[in-house]
Amino acid sequence: MAQLFLMFILALSPIICLIIALIALKQQAWIASFEALAVAVVVSMLVWHMKPIEVATATLEGCLFALWPIVVVIIAAVFTYNLTVCTHAMDKIKQMLTSVSSDRRVLTLLIVWCFGNFMEGMAGFGTAVAIPASMMMALGIDPIVAILACLIANGTPTMFGSIGIPTTTLASITGIVETDLAFTQALQVFPFVIACPFLMVMLVGGGPKALKGVVPITLVAGLSFAIPELIAARFIGAALPDVVGAVCSLGCTFLMALRMKGTPVPEEERLKVAAGRGPLTVHDALVAWSPFILIFVVLLLTSSLVPFISQPLSAIKTQVQVYAGENPATLTFTWINTPGVLILLCGIAGGFIQGCPVSQMLSVLGATVKQMSKTILTMLGVLSVAKIMGYSGMIASIAAFFVGSLGGLYPLVAPALGALGTFVTGSGTSSEVLFGNVQLQAAQSIGVNETWLVASNSLGVSAGKMLSPQNVAIGCAACDLSGKDGEIIGKIAPYAFGFLVIMMAMTYAGAMMGL
């Protein structure tokens, strides 16, 4: 047991290094990620006996995976936002949003919860943090508060993000029926979906007092997402719960906001946004929103929901194996039907619609890449650490310690593995790949419901997604807050760990009751 514990601590050493560098030493994320990478390289070679060529190719694979599709999609998302600022379309969007409500709490529900969850359901890869956080900052919300709100909102929809890829992947590697798995996941995450809008309102409004007068709309925002998500998961599967939930929540929350228009907004909750020059026409509105409308339409038409479009586009790809050791993963570079490319094309098309010259678009793109440069380095470092930890056996040692030492108490920590996988990789899908079969084998060995325990991995992903350095770095880059990663992680940690403790207790109770 002592040997198992020692290997467990050594396997965690890159993550421990990352946390200390970010929170205790308050280093910039890109520096902390490369320090963690250095620790991972040394430990993997000395303890897990990786060969130099294996370390080098694992690092290269991590860098390539970071660049495509993750870096591409966050550059595309931030570029689209920056372009709407450059063309002054964002001023018109702000005018329209504040005409619905000047209450920062209501706008947080509409932009971060409803629109952000829709972006997660359609695209994922950080778009649900980058775009809503930027829009909130443009409305005058403190950028740190905006990022924190997006991180809270972005946790719960991750399991069904990108048209359900994390859950479909988990179902395929464990052999569990997709609809059964999706329904169990939606059931487990249900109370957290209800809680998130309330936490966001209290965060933006500065405490529980902020709930005064907005409890009904906050409850509607949560229920109108959670119930349709549960129904879609049960009868459709993993592809649509986020999209259906977000659309229903947007409609219901918008109607509630209109009903509240005559209600006085407390001065401390009123956004002080300059009034527009006059009422906007439908044409003005469509032009201003054109990039985001195009993103909605294009992502929907190129998703798996429209196979006669998505399949030919998805076939335009390159597959390579980079890692030089045993059991290498196959990297797939989908050149057209990937969110980053599609969002970038929509942003450019929206720029043309708004009358932006090509030279100005190129200038905005260059400025966006410069703005994102440190975030790109963070992505390279973090994903390289994840690949080395996976290939070397560090991740397996972490899982082995929990399974081997806890026995019948294992369900208590099952969500923690899912959270750990997402914290390290920034990806719900990667966490499912890393720990999906671990959860299945643990369930079989201790005699609990397999679907319940495997689904708990996805539940833990929700907490890990909030804390993920990758997700935090995307928010910081979108709001131009370079170097604030450690501060934001420190502030989001109580929410993430609070969620995780409840998730662990709930998973254990459910396993003991035979759910």
Q: How many CA atoms lie within 13 A of 332 on its CB side?
A: 8
Mean local confidence (pLDDT), 136-159? 93
pLDDT computed for residue 382 by the predictor: 85
Cβ atoms of 79 and 73 within 8 Å: the answer is no
Q: Compute the distance between CA of residue 70 and CA of residue 57 in angstroms, rounded to an integer.
A: 19
Cβ atoms of 140 and 303 within 8 Å: the answer is no
pLDDT at 493 over 90: yes
Q: How many domains is the chain partitioned into structurally?
A: 1
pLDDT computed for residue 220 by the predictor: 97
pLDDT computed for residue 240 by the predictor: 83
* pTM of this structure: 0.86
pLDDT at 139 over 70: yes
The residue behind tokens 């931030």 is: 78
Residue 320 is classified by DSSP as E
pLDDT computed for residue 161 by the predictor: 87
Comparing C-alpha atoms, which of 462, 472, 378, 473 is closest to residue 421? Answer: 462
pLDDT at 274 over 60: no
Q: Tokens in use for 1? A: 């047991």
Q: Compute the distance between CA of residue 510 and CA of residue 22 in angstroms, rounded to an integer.
A: 35
Q: What would the pLDDT profile of 198-212 be if each residue is shown by its tens digit?
A: 999 999 998 999 999
Cβ atoms of 269 and 103 within 8 Å: the answer is yes
Q: Compute the distance between CA of residue 515 and CA of residue 511 in angstroms, rounded to an integer.
A: 6
Q: Give the three-class secondary structure for 281.
A: coil
pLDDT computed for residue 137 by the predictor: 92
Mean local confidence (pLDDT), 252-280? 82
pLDDT computed for residue 273 by the predictor: 61
pLDDT at 275 over 70: no
Comparing C-alpha atoms, which of 473, 488, 369, 478 is closest to residue 132? Answer: 478
Q: What would the pLDDT profile of 185-242 be if each residue is shown by its tens digit?
A: 999 999 999 999 999 999 999 899 999 999 999 999 999 999 999 999 999 888 889 9
Q: State how far the alpha carbon of 185 is from the alpha carbons of 318, 408, 503, in Å.
A: 33, 22, 12
Buried/exposed code over 86-100 (b: 16+ C-beta within 10 A; e: otherwise): bbebbbbbbbebbee
Range of the domain at 387: 2-512
Q: Compute the distance between CA of residue 162 and CA of residue 238 in angstroms, rounded to an integer.
A: 10
Q: Tokens in use for 324? A: 């030089």
